[in-house]
A = this chain, B = another copy of it.
Amino acid sequence: MARTSGPETRDRLIRAAEELFAAQGVHGAQLRDIVSRAGQANPSAVQYHFGSRAGLLDAVMAGRQARTESVLAPLLTAAPDETHALVGALVTAEASELRTDRGRRCLRISAQLSHESGVRARTPHPTLAGTGYWRLIERIADRLAADGLPEPLLLERLDLALTVVGAAMADRARQYLDGTEPLTGEGLFLADLVETTTALLRAAQPEQAHLPRKDPS
């Protein structure tokens, strides 16, 4: 095998990680299998180039994020501060990753991480600080607060909404990667995901929200 340059090795490792993290999970995939699939003989190639599994995962997600951010930027500028429009911008930006196998794999990976965004603590994961994605989340949060949703419910719902969008996109991506026939055309799928996610966020508050907490904790 010909020797490869450092940047080329790095890119090969990232692409191999995308395949195995998507198929076997970000915790399940074995680093030695990623190294092997990247055509590297040195078993510590991940440590050398990325420091750790977490560093490799951050590198994978940085590439995915750069692509989505470029799609999201003009949508964020155009969208009014209205939940349906903001969710529409999110879904449209995420859907751009459905166009390539690489993006599809990344959608399958980021769905595994949707609870790590930092939404519940309203403090972005370090890789999300300063991004359009985080500004979008903040704008939805502000809109829901203005609509009268109390902060704890608002944060739990936002976390759930990101999980829903992530899971729906990852499942669609899996169908495309596997060659499974989807139940709906992509336009209808995306439009319905905007409707259902918006409805989830804007659902009526439960009656308990107006009562003191009953549980002893």
A128 to B: closest C-beta gap in Å: 18
Selecting from A8-16, A129-137, A182-190, the interface stretch reads A182-190
Asked if A164 contacts B213 (CB within 8 A), the reply is: no
- Scoring A28, A115, A202 by chain B CB atoms within 10 A of each residue's CB, the highest score goes to A28
**Known contacts A25-B25, A185-B217, A213-B185, A191 near B208 by CB under 8 Å:** yes
Q: B-facing mask of A197-211, CB < 8 A → 1, else 0?
A: 111111111111100
- Scoring A27, A156, A198, A214 by chain B CB atoms within 10 A of each residue's CB, the highest score goes to A156
Q: For the complex, is A32 an interface residue (Cβ under 8 Å from B)? A: no
**Known contacts A164-B200, A200-B164, A202-B199, A184 near B153 by CB under 8 Å:** yes
Asked if B167 contacts A155 (CB within 8 A), the reply is: no
In the bound assembly, the distance between CA atoms of A115 and B169 in angstroms comes to 13
Asked if B191 contacts A207 (CB within 8 A), the reply is: yes
Q: For the complex, is A195 an interface residue (Cβ under 8 Å from B)? A: yes
Please name 5 pairs of A and B residues whose Cβ atoms are closer than 8 Å in the assembled complex, sorted by A: A164-B200, A185-B217, A188-B213, A195-B203, A199-B202
